[in-house]
Amino acid sequence: MRTHTGEKPYQCKQCDARFADAGNLRKHMRSHTGEKPYLCAQCDARFARAAHLQGHMKTHTGEKPHQCTQCDARFTRYDNLQTHMRTHTGEKPFHCKHCDARFSDNSAFRRHKRTHTGEKPHQCTQCDAKFALAHHLKLHMRTHTGEKPYHCKQCDAKYADSSSLSKHVKRQHSQH
């Protein structure tokens, strides 16, 4: 009945998200705790939701059953097709209540909201550093591991991120 009334009595204590049932709140809490109980047997990728693992499995088979009616784009998951369709319609249904920003997909909207709340749900396991974006945590982890996956093609220089490599190439190898 709550799907018809719009009632969402279950609220996250860490952000302003609300849910119609407790199960969805429990699943949502994984976005704060980082818990990812669903493991891919083929590549060890982990997921917070079983549906995301099922969608991921299609990357191993190459299956992309959802095709855009406007262009040749194909997707493994239907929700990704729905988000893609907004590139054709220009629809931006996610509107920030703190500023005029609008977004075509919910994940970009959630990331944007952190600029207002200051929420940093991605925490380093090696130190106390916290980040608003998972990508920033991934880059930070390289300070602990020493990983430098970006290699200059013109010399032996290696970098932890692509922007540092780009700066190096411009400074050291560009024609002035």
Q: Are 160 and 148 in contact (CB under 8 A)?
A: yes
Asked if the 147-173 domain carries CATH number 3.30.70, the reply is no
- For the chain, give every domain's residue range: 147-173
Q: How many CB atoms neighbour CB 84 within 10 A? A: 18
User: What is the C-alpha to C-alpha distance for residues 91 and 104, in angstroms, rounded to an integer?
Assistant: 6
50: left (phi over 0), alpha (psi -120 to 50) or beta: alpha
Which is nearest to 79 in space by CA: 65, 92, 89, 90?
A: 65
- pLDDT band per the 50, 70, 90 thresholds, residue 176: low
Express each pLDDT in 31-81 by its tens digit.
888 788 899 999 988 988 888 898 888 889 989 999 999 999 999 888 889
Express each pLDDT in 117-146 by its tens digit.
999 989 999 999 999 988 899 999 999 999
